[in-house]
Amino acid sequence: WVSSPAYRTVIAKITAARKDAGFTQRDLAKALGKPPSFVAKYEQRERRLDLLEFIAIARALRMKEGDLLRAIAAELPKRVEI
């Protein structure tokens, strides 16, 4: 499990963005061309997202990548543990 406080914040913000966009996990998975387990596993923090996946998710949610990243960064502490 990926369980650092910072990573929990990242996933919480991405999950909130998905819900705000009106997408279910299944909807997002379909838009990404992935099985529903892809979304479930990163939302449950069973796997980490990489940068390209982050970009694909933001675009599938019809968001600008930079806007989503800024929203996430605003919630993180100055020093981020990885």
How many alpha carbons lie under 13 Å from residue 70 in its C-beta half-sphere?
5
Note the pLDDT tens digit of each residue in 53-72: 999 999 999 999 999 999 99
CA distance 82 to 70: 18
Note the pLDDT tens digit of each residue in 14-24: 999 999 999 99
pLDDT at 45 over 80: yes
In this prediction the pTM is 0.92
